[in-house]
Structure 1
């Protein structure tokens, strides 16, 4: 993978992680207002962002298994950090939405 393509992949992972986190926060905000339909919609959007990033990672892992080494640099580490933060936020948001459902309903 050339440098330009690798940077596109890295930026895609960063964006997906950031989008997942943003949608998770929106889900919590909606649940706090009692809008559980919106909260569930935002959780679905957050999950889709994680799936998109996961698919990119799977492509990279497959290429690595074929012997196409991807250099690991600060950009890649940063991308993985964003993704893991997004995953954590989504997991936490799911729990928080459920708590709000019990409190408000």
Structure 2
């Protein structure tokens, strides 16, 4: 696979992960933490795929195969890091929504 296709693959997996995390957040808001965690799990799989590609690229470069600086790669890294942050925040929100729904059940 050529260098640009590899970079676009990272972007695609990171974008999929981010979308899945926002789906998880919607399920959490609806009071369905199990479905929310299912979506987070799917997001983690996408992030792992992106991370593995990134790691392969790093190993290749460490072995001496250099690539020209690419704004596209910076963009891919940005997508990946944002998706990772979204995943972490959504996991926290799921726990928050679980607490809110649990409290509502005990009050009402």
TM-score, with normalisation over the residues of structure 1? Answer: 0.93
How many residues of Structure 1 are paired with residues of Structure 2 in the alignment?
102
Provide the residue aligned with 1:76 in structure 2. 73
Provide the residue aligned with 1:95 in structure 2. 92
Q: 1:37 aligns with which of 24, 29, 34?
A: 34
Distance (whole Å) between structure 1 residues aligned to residue 85 and residue 26 of structure 2: 17
Structure with the greater alpha carbon radius of gyration: 2
Shift >4 Å, 4+ stretches:
none
**1:57-98 Cα shifts (integer Å, max 9, x gaps):** 110011011101122211111111111110110010000000
TM-score, with normalisation over the residues of structure 2? Answer: 0.90
Matches within 5 A, 1:1-105: 5-105=2-102
Question: What's the Cα RMSD here?
Answer: 1.0
